[in-house]
Amino acid sequence: MTMQFFDITGMTCSHCAQSVAHALNRVAGVQGASVDYEQRTASVRGTADVAALIAAVAKAGYTLTPRALAAAADAPRAGACCDGQQPAAPATQIAIIGSGSAAFAAAIRAVEAGATVTIIEAGTVGGTCVNVGCVPSKIFISAAHIAHTQAAHPFAGIERHRPVLNRAAQLAQQQQRVEELRFAKYEHIVQTNPAITLMHGRARFIDAGTLAVMQTPKDGKDQEPPTEIRLTPDKILIATGRSPKIPDIAGLAGTPYWTSTEALASQVLPQHLVVLGASVVALELAQAFLRLGSRVTLIARSTLLSHDEPALGEALAAVLAAEGMTLLMQTQVLTVQYALNEFVLETTQGTLKGDRLLVATGRTPNTPLLDLARAGVAVDQTGAVVVDERLQTTAPHIYAAGDCTNAPQYVYVAAAAGTRAAINMTGGDARLDLSRVPAVVFTDPQVATVGLTPAQAQNLKIDADSRKLMLEHVPRALANFDTTGFIQLVAERASGQLLGAQILASGAGEMIQIATLAIKNRMTVAELAEQLFPYLTMGEGIKLCAQTFTKDVSQLSCCAG
């Protein structure tokens, strides 16, 4: 494999550089091309014919001139550098399949370590979080919270009213912010980092050391047959994420159901939204649509948040029911039909009808099309890539990070995994510690957890003690006229060391990191109870809960130390 250098004329903006890079990367034999707009130069890695490269760029409207003489003059002689020393080892070449948070965290860290990186993306750059997950959903949820607050706030003397909603305008603002963040945090990084090349295409393994990439046009307008390019990088990172999992329900596949992607992109609000699912995505979107004026019925196979502390799901169910949501617990959907703009669901609790159906029953790894068996990469029963604490797969030079693996499905876990995978792919030794992973459900009130629940501690045969503080004992909650929820702390009985926390409260997501850091630093509840917490804050509730292990907080003054 060789590196070729060129001058480019005709470029007038950074978008031109993207067009040239796109044209170069489509040429057979190119294993990676980068374009520097400021320098008006291109570097091409691979075995492509120079004439083919020049022709491809000319077709795009630019002129490509080889820099053979300059490259030769700048290149060190074989066996020695210009100062007589031995030349540096060639840069590690890394291919990353996917372009989400794990992929970009890895790419940035790998380049910092001197590697060159090719990112391969079959769809939209940026992955789930920025495009169809965290960012648009939190914008949507925040808008719904504002609408609900106007109609149902608790303060006397301020008139409540149902706001006039313009979903199309709201969606336009939402998508504009998505596009801004995608450019700033993903596309701009590729444009400004010559060591990172973005290749549009779908990758699969030929063997453990070879990737075949069926290239696709970035804009989807190119009608030429797609070109397959083969890469033989030194290291490979699989970071392909997950997609919505669709349950096998009779009749469902032939209907225009929504996943979270379609729900967040809809310009209209349903009259009656039926939601299948009872975990994070289902609950967040169900409450948001309810607060924006839709009638909502949620169907749960068991209970809400069934994998968490039972009290959390029970209390959240009461809140949602009080807001007007219909909750069908312990309910199975038998069949789904769609006709005349209406869904008809036959369930174990009878017939249910709605104009929209949101399926939010989990996500499945994007691994089936990768031909992982050819590379010797093992997956678990769900299709998730099996990795160790170094993010290494069963193939020594292949790593994986993010939601496609068997790690917790959180974007901050994905980014941390990508960074550590990059360290290990470039000669370092980093581990991903998943012993303390905080989690947040962005309902209102929010649900936030970290560490062990009382039941989990018991299953591990840990002699633990726990205390639950209702928010009516937290001064800030009283000042907010919002005392719905509780704080629960779990500690080892003998030592008092904090083992876990479960919080249902407005702002629980901001509070949980206090407990996370306390667990990490092996603090006891006694030490936590002695800390100085600002008054009035919701975080002070964690201190008050810690005090309940030894005191009756109802008998303390409002800011007792």
Instruction: Supply the residues annotated as catalytic.
Output: 11, 13, 16, 62, 129, 134, 558-559
Report yes or no: 329 and 277 within 8 Å, Cβ to Cβ. Answer: no
Q: Is 61 helix (H, G, I), strand (E, B) or coil?
A: coil
Which among 500, 459, 467 has a CA at the least distance from the CA of 486?
A: 467
Amino acid at 458: Q
Instruction: Return the number of other C-beta atoms located less than 10 Å from residue 491's C-beta.
Output: 26
- Could you give the CA distance from residue 129 to residue 466 in angstroms, rounded to a whole number? 35
Q: Which of left, alpha, beta for 406 (phi over 0: left; psi -120 to 50: alpha)?
A: alpha
- Could you give the CA distance from residue 211 to residue 120 in angstroms, rounded to a whole number? 10
Q: Which residues contact 166 (CB under 8 A, 6 or more apart)?
A: none
The angle at the Cα of 291, spanning 483 to 514, to the nearest 5 degrees, equals: 40
Give the position of tokens 């019925």.
297
> Edge-to-edge strands of the sheet including 116-121?
228-231, 210-215, 196-207, 116-121, 93-97, 235-238, 398-400
Inter-helix orientation angle 280-291/134-152, to 10°: 40
